A and B are shown apart, each in its own frame.
Chain A
Amino acid sequence: MSAMALRSLNLPGLGTKYEFETEKGDTVAIFFTKSGLIQMYTLQKGCRTPSAAEMTPVEARRLGNILTGAIIEADQESVEIAFSALADLRITIHTFYVPKSITGKTIEELQIRAKTGATIVAVCRNDKNIINPPPAFAFETGDAALVIGESDQIRRFEREIMVD
């Protein structure tokens, strides 16, 4: 694969522009404006008028997550929060759908904290949220679990607990 040429340009009074052409000849341009909003333009090869989308920083990060493959399914997502005041503490919150293999098991039985270090902070069941589920809480099929921890702990959780 040929290396794509990424052009970055600092535009005075406006912000930073990143632009690259894909192998197929389409062009993608991203502008980080000084107001904090991010505009993304895509121009299909042979077209004259680009189409544009304006995003807030949160939306842009979300798009970034999708593009880097951090989100496996559309309804599973992961957010990383950095607390720069606390020695650059980084916390990840990830949603998981409970697989059949752990249906009926409790948090205590699965030894989630001991095995992975991650913590389940909430479970969404039938559009109702259960915040801070107790150790005796048993999972059901269709539950969505919100897990908090460092990115390593989340990865371990995914590998050891979320196995089909």
Chain B
Amino acid sequence: MEGFVIALFVCLILALITKYLKVPPIPFYILAGVLLGKSGLGIVQSDELSRFFSDMGLIFLLFFMGLGLKLERIAANRSAVLTSGIIDLNVNMLIGFVAAYLFGFSLTESLIIASAFYISSTAMAITSLIENRKLMMREAETVIWLMMFEDLVLILFLAIISSGNQNMVFLFIKIAAVLLVLYALAHWGKEFLVSILDRDDELPILFTFAAVLTTASFAIVLEVPETMMVIALGAAFATTDPDAFEQHARPFKDVFLVVFFVFFGVTMDLSGGADPFMIAAICILAIVSKLISGLITGIVIHGSALAGIEIWGNTISRGEFSIALAALYGSGLVATTIAVMVIVTSIVGSFTAKYCSHLRRGILHFGRRSPLHRPHTYR
């Protein structure tokens, strides 16, 4: 219990400092966890309580992701979303997978590393677009849709990898059935849901918490992965009043997710003898491969490689979803590799997000005669 409080207190201070310096807090939570945990000073141990809070963090993160899914809008924007999404998926998955496999990870491990390598941090990308006042750029919209596409891929990936020994077709049918039931409940119960959410007493927040936990606990009965259950719940609730649900679930997500990150660091085992050269190579590749996919997307969607630099700068950061994958399926060396990658890319990413416009202007200035760029304007 004392350890838990110490960890929480350290996170509070880190949150204050990172907000003040305008840098992403996630890498620092993990680092603090490593420092306090069994690979560091050993002050904080994970226990029943911290495991429960960490699980809640993951569940609420995925519930939020489900709430944010806007399938009908993706359908409306299909061509642009698909093109950039598929470029991003192919380039990064491939580079991540080949690199991990060549470094001696098993097939499954390589697949997990590749997914963590592929998926950028939605939270960091959106925060950096807002903080660096880049919303009006055409590339900002591309980045936002890219994040949405990555979320969809993650869901598919979670479904595939969590099927384990089960028959995958059977599992998919079960997931579809769960989704259908939840959608039906949300559809027929919409008035009831909205009437609960509109109250100003404790009911909306209690209901949201209970709904998420109840749905997650049904996972064991139905043998459908917990992750799928809460994403499905989020997607179903998104058809009623997603903003209200976000508002009521946010306090839980904010607190539990911090605990999740710090205890991910606490439980990280560095004694496995990680090869620093290998991890450094993965980190550098993680930055380079997003540059490649960014440049291709820039050329294909915006007709300018320079636009790709802007996309690159805002999508380098890997974050919450990579750590979630590591916590769910990665053990030992896989988790360490992903954690270091998240820490390095998110710190580098916060700088590139701030300065890639300068870089882009610099290239434009020096390369006036270079055939690399075509005339490009904002908007």
Which of A10, A12, A41, A48 makes the CB contact (< 8 A) with B135? A41
Given A29-B136, A41-B135, A43-B136, A13-B130 contact (CB < 8 Å) = no
Chain B residues 64-94 with CB under 8 Å of chain A are 68-70, 73
| Interface size range of chain B in the complex | 20 to 34
8 A Cβ contacts from A16-59 to B: 17, 19, 27, 29, 31, 33-35, 37, 39, 41, 43, 48-50, 52, 54
Tell me, yes or no, whether A14 is within 8 Å of chain B by CB.
yes
Q: How large is the interface on A (under 10, 10 to 19, 20 to 34, 35 or more residues)?
A: 20 to 34
Write the nearest CB–CB distance from A150 to chain B, whole angstroms.
Answer: 25
Asked whether, in the complex, the Cβ of B379 is within 8 Å of the Cβ of A27, the reply is yes
B377 contacts A by Cβ under 8 Å: yes
Query: Which residues does chain A contribute within 8 Å of B130, judged by CB atoms?
Result: 14, 31, 33, 35, 37, 39
Q: Hey, which chain A residues are within 8 Å of B70, CB to CB?
A: 10, 12
* Cα A52 to Cα B378 with chains together (Å): 14
Asked if A11 CB lies within 8 Å of chain B CBs, one says: yes
A13 B144 Cβ-Cβ under 8 A: yes
Inter-chain contact A43/B122, CB cutoff 8 Å:
no
Assess A13 versus B148: contact at CB under 8 Å? Given A31-B135, A39-B133. yes
Question: Quick one: which of B97-152 are within 8 Å of A by CB?
Answer: 122, 126, 129-130, 133, 135-136, 141, 144-145, 147-148
A50 to B68, CA, bound (A): 28
* Whole-angstrom CA separation of A49 from B136 in the bound complex: 9
Contact B144 A11 (CB under 8 A): yes
Judge whether A43 and B378 touch: CB under 8 Å: yes
Q: Whole-angstrom distance from the CB of A162 to the nearest CB of chain B?
A: 40
A19–B140 alpha-carbon span in the complex (Å): 14
Q: Given A29-B135, A29-B136, A31-B135, answer yes or no on A14-B129 (Cβ-Cβ < 8 Å).
A: yes
CB atoms of B136 and A41 under 8 A apart:
yes
The CA-CA distance from A34 to B144 in the complex, in Å, is 14
A21's nearest neighbour on chain B, judged by CB, is B379
Q: How far is the CB of B239 from chain A (nearest CB, A)?
A: 14
Q: How distant is the Cα of A146 from the Cα of B145 in the complex, in angstroms?
A: 49
Q: Are B377 and A48 in contact (CB under 8 A)?
A: yes
Query: Which residues of B have CB within 8 Å of A12?
Result: 68-70, 73, 144-145, 147-148
Question: How far does the alpha carbon of A31 sit from the alpha carbon of B136 in the complex, in Å?
Answer: 9
- Asked, given contacts A10-B73, A12-B73, A14-B126, whether A41 binds B133 with beta carbons under 8 Å apart, the answer is yes
Given A13-B148, A14-B144, residue A52 in contact with residue B126 (CB < 8 A): no
Report which A residues bind B (CB closer than 8 A): 9-14, 17, 19, 27, 29, 31, 33-35, 37, 39, 41, 43, 48-50, 52, 54
Subset of 25 A-B contacts with CB under 8 Å: A9-B141, A10-B73, A11-B144, A12-B70, A12-B145, A12-B148, A13-B68, A13-B126, A14-B126, A14-B144, A29-B135, A31-B130, A33-B130, A35-B130, A39-B133, A39-B135, A41-B133, A41-B135, A43-B136, A43-B379, A48-B377, A49-B378, A50-B136, A52-B135, A52-B136
